[in-house]
Structure 1
Amino acid sequence: MKRISKIGILIMTLFSFSKVQSQVVSDKATYTDTSYTTGSVISKDGTKIGYRQYGHGTPLVIVQGAMGVAYNYDQLAKALAAGFTVYVPDRRGRGLSTLEYTPQYTIQRDVEDLQSILEKTQAHLVFALSSGAIITLEACKVLPAIQKVVLYEPPFYVKGVPTKNIDRLNQEVAEGKLASAMVTIFRTIKVGPPVFAYIPRPVLTFLVKRPLELEQKNGPGKYEYYSKLIPSIRYDAKIVLERGGEIKTYHSVNQPILLLGGTKSPKYLQLSLDSLQKILPNGSRKIFKGLDHSGPWNKDKGGSPELVANAIIEYFKKLN
């Protein structure tokens, strides 16, 4: 009975997600947000990287993680905008930066993208989530422009990178099996409702298909289509393959770094923070009770953006 009730909760969650998506579409038609402007830079390899710009003050760049676009960080950026000029670039393959994934991609391309943003904005402060945090750590090695950093749960796999899952994900995306790929994402990064762990893969794949179909019909509102986000996660998977097991290589990163995380995040992310805190020469840490990996995202995506923003503001002010 307990398992059945959890499956019922999942079904309700998936269908309520679809309902919210259709409501957001109607909201979009009647409201224009003037709190930000957009711009772009050209990265070293010629790729166009688009960004949103909020507020006025000290320049601050937000580096995204997987499965989101600039709008996922809208409330965080607005919470920071009173004291910072906040730049939220879309990483490759999503939102305003549309270059599709190719197997030739390496993390160095994302480092170059960040460098282009930093050079245009003259920013020295960076906040980054998840795979974006690994990009930022890699950039800290070679970009002296980065002076102070806040990272939220970089996904280092201290006990071994899940290479088989990543291979499966790449194959499913290549075959256009997006619902199956979404399930592989859930199983690999261990986010989403805890009930997912109780459901057999074929059942969960079937349940995921319906919201994806409804999104194609109703639209994603102000967010990006999952049908576009799922293929883009191959960038993030490549980052994990290249650097997810190389946490010890960051012992030479000397910038002051605040590590953030939530008590509801998967254990491997907490182990990542434990290890990174020991390795970084100037690292400190703050844990949010009740938050998970989506902490920096908008509230309707499970985040607590004001709480995360307050920690960012406090840390950067303390270092001035």
Structure 2
Amino acid sequence: MLITTAPDGTEVRATDEGRGPVLLILHPGLDDGRSWDKVAAQLTPRHRVVRLHRRQYRQDLPGPATIPQEVEHVVAAAREIGSPILLVGHSSGAVVALESLLAAPGMFTGAVLYEPPVVIGPPLGGPGGEVNVRARQAIAAGRPGRALRIFIRDTVGLPAWMAFLAGVFTALSPRLRPLVPHQIDDNEALDRLGVRLDAYAGVETPVLLLGGDRSPAHLGERLDALARVLPRAERVVLHGQGHSAHAAAPAEVAAVIESFAARTTG
């Protein structure tokens, strides 16, 4: 376990496994890093894998967290590690990774960004944040599964039947159910960040943009927008995979990360 302190005094926590070139993983929403267990198991024989427990999803810290506050935790972890680091971010964690590249460019040798939902036009939460409002109402009514269904259907863009199943599963999971309000906090934090494409044009660090050809189309459009502005970006498409390839095809995801790490961290 890696433990250090952020500038505001909050404790930074991360799972720390393996030896070798360092990979700092920023997990997606509705998670605490454990969804990347299978990928980490593929990587730790040859890498030191540090999985940050993102501040937005910490039950022991006051929230909600802003993206800049999350970045403070990333930078604090990187300083504690003190070695050349490749960032790996998934979904909203990939947006935090992008912002970390801007905040501390010299700390990272590169980044693998798996389908970051960067804002490129209308808010993720819909006009006036109405998706978030409906999700909050469901949470207040004691229906976290319904709140997640709303988010998955209307923000993520998955079919209604998939959103329904995910909502039922989450409502029955003691681990996931308390994370639903944090997922809506996360969505709102991304919308507050707004369109940042002009800022990302200043990222000089090598970036690999990772996506699946079965993911919702808007995620590919966001990757396209990043590919147009990032000076040193490359694209990799995972064929037959969607937004959860880290769970469905961990060996394939790990291979992409290792290949990029070999070229950026030495």
Does TM, scored on the shorter chain, surpass 0.5? yes
**Structure 2 unaligned regions, length at least 5:** none
Find the aligned partners of 2:185 and 2:205 in 1 and give their Cα distance.
26
Percent identity for Structure 1 against Structure 2: 26
Query: Deviation of residue 146 (structure 1)?
Result: 1.7
Partner-residue secondary structure (3-state), 2:209? strand
Question: CA RMSD for the aligned pairs?
Answer: 2.3
One of 201, 210, 215 as aligned partner of 2:173: 215
Partner-residue secondary structure (3-state), 1:119? helix
Partner of 1:239 in structure 2? Answer: 189
One of 182, 192, 195 as aligned partner of 2:148: 182
Query: Deviation of residue 115 (structure 1)?
Result: 0.7
**Kindly tell me: are residues 212 and 307 of structure 1, through their superposed partners in 2, closer, same or farther at Cα, counting changes over 3 Å?**
closer
Query: Deviation of residue 175 (structure 1)?
Result: 4.5
Partner of 2:78 in structure 1? Answer: 118
CA contact (8 A) 2:71 2:100 kept: yes
Partner of 2:98 in structure 1? Answer: 137
**Runs of 4+ off more than 4 Å:** 207-214
Partner of 1:150 in structure 2? Answer: 112
CA contact (8 A) 2:145 2:177 kept: no
CA contact (8 A) 2:131 2:155 kept: no
Partner of 1:230 in structure 2? Answer: 180
Partner-residue secondary structure (3-state), 1:252? coil
Query: Within 5 A, what are the aligned runs for 1:13-162?
Result: 38-94=1-57, 98-102=60-64, 105-123=65-83, 124-143=85-104, 144-161=106-123, 162=126
**Kindly tell me: are residues 304 and 210 of structure 1, through their superposed partners in 2, closer, same or farther at Cα, counting changes over 3 Å?**
closer
Indicate the structure (1 or 2) with the bigger Cα radius of gyration.
1
**Kindly tell me: are residues 258 and 208 of structure 1, through their superposed partners in 2, closer, same or farther at Cα, counting changes over 3 Å?**
closer
Partner of 1:311 in structure 2? Answer: 256
Give the partner amino acid of 1:53.
D
Is 1:263 the counterpart of 2:213? The answer is yes
Query: Deviation of residue 213 (structure 1)?
Result: 5.7
Partner of 1:3 in structure 2? Answer: none
Partner of 2:131 in structure 1? Answer: 165
**Kindly tell me: are residues 48 and 173 of structure 1, through their superposed partners in 2, closer, same or farther at Cα, counting changes over 3 Å?**
farther
Give the partner amino acid of 1:314.
S
Partner of 1:34 in structure 2? Answer: none
**Kindly tell me: are residues 55 and 172 of structure 1, through their superposed partners in 2, closer, same or farther at Cα, counting changes over 3 Å?**
same
Query: Deviation of residue 56 (structure 1)?
Result: 0.7
Query: Deviation of residue 231 (structure 1)?
Result: 1.6
Partner-residue secondary structure (3-state), 2:55? coil
Partner of 2:240 in structure 1? Answer: 290
Q: How many residues align?
A: 259
